[in-house]
Structure 1
Amino acid sequence: MSTIPPNSPPDALPQTLIGAGAVLVAAVLAYGALSIPSSAGYAGVGPNFLPWLVSAAMLVCGVWLIWEARSGGFRDLETASGAATGDWTALAWVSAGVLGNAALITRIGFVLSCALCFVLAVRGLRISEGRAAGSVRQTLIDAATGMLIAAPVFWMFSKVLAINLPGLTSSGWL
């Protein structure tokens, strides 16, 4: 027995599940916000204000998505682009970049680990587009680009905002 109304589009169940997933994420965020102290800070706003705001906004979005799915489906939906199935090789490269960054950030520093993440993710994105993964020259260009992106971010956080990020040297510049 299906709970989908008879005049619903064929995509109503997956669309409803997307909304339900958003509601579930909102509930998990709200549960996490319970563990943050609520002592009022500047202007009466405590550290748990933003997590509660995000969870409430996520809940509104989830309920809205469910309503949209149940009242006729997502409107003006374009035909999905891309392949019918996922590109697992590309996903593996991007995942390796993100996981490698997380595993190596305290060992080789923020700049190098983010540059490595960039190199691996770009390789995966190229593969997902059906292009060549990249030659040695392209990999070196990607590494330099990753460092040119990560280094100013590192300096902004560590020097300007005084937020400690893992560095490779004790000087605080790399």
Structure 2
Amino acid sequence: MLKRVTGEQWIALGVILISLIMAWQITGISQSTGYAGIGPRFFPSVIAAGLLLSGVILLVQSRPSKHPATEDQTQDPDHPLDYAPPHPHWRMFGMASAALILHMSLISTLGFTLASTILCFGICLALETEHKIRDLILSFLLVLGLFHLFKWLGLNLPALITGGVI
């Protein structure tokens, strides 16, 4: 007997299909390494592999469980579940979106490090973390490390100071 495919399984299969199409399209990118130490296929390949892994994990998690599917089978009829569907956090979404838009508009003037620090810290504010100073310092250190990692890989990012320290 064939089992019905659920919506979650369709999404998982769609993610897997997108990753396979992306992997197929990557073969059309030229193999030359150019000025960077890694080739132009590297990051798209990492993304395609991550999508494939995510799709497989989604597919495994979307398997039908052996537990009862309805509330009638799981609860005593005299004591129904007190469950309300979650509401979207529009304030968090707005703050995260504003941080991203601010990052995109400031990266050419402030440079990668400061603009990305604002983005990281803005996401921390949107998630309502309690330690603001720690979050700001860690955001700066994380982004500074990323800046120097990209510099070590031979990729140039916009810098605030000519010479590319920050």
TM-score when normalising by structure 1? 0.58
Q: Does 1:24 align with 2:26?
A: no
**Cα offsets for 1:52-79 (capped at 9, x unmatched):** 686477557646754764x53599xxxx
Equivalent-residue separation in structure 1 for 2:138 and 2:54 (angstroms): 36
Sort the Cα spacing of 1:38 and 1:145 in 2 relative to 1 into closer, same or farther, 3 A: closer
Equivalent-residue separation in structure 2 for 1:53 and 1:153 (angstroms)? 17
- Tell me which protein shows more helix as a share of its residues: 1
Judging changes above 3 Å, is the alpha-carbon distance between structure 1 residues 165 and 123 closer, same or farther for their aligned structure 2 residues? same
Change in Cα spacing, 1:122 to 1:51, as seen in structure 2 (3 Å) is closer
Q: Deviations over 1:118-140 (max 9, x none)?
A: 221001111xx7x7xx8xxx4x6
Q: Give the alignment of 1:68-107 within 5 angstroms.
A: 69=62, 72-73=64-65, 84-107=86-109
Q: Partners in 2 of 1:120 and 1:22 — Cα distance?
A: 29
Counterpart among 137, 141, 148 of residue 148 in structure 1: 141
Structure 1 stretch 162-171 or stretch 49-58: which is displaced more? 49-58
- Name the SS for the 1:89 alignment partner: helix
Q: 2:157 aligns with which of 151, 159, 165?
A: 165
| Structure 2 unaligned residues grouped into runs of 5+ | 33-38, 68-84
Q: Alignment identity in percent? A: 24
Question: Contact 1:109–1:168 (CA<8 Å) still a contact in 2?
Answer: yes
Query: Distance in 2 between the 1:148 and 1:91 partners?
Result: 25
From the superposition, tell whether residues 64 and 97 of structure 1 become closer, same or farther in structure 2 (CA, over 3 Å). closer
Paired residues in the alignment total 143
Distance 1:51 1:72 in 2: 32
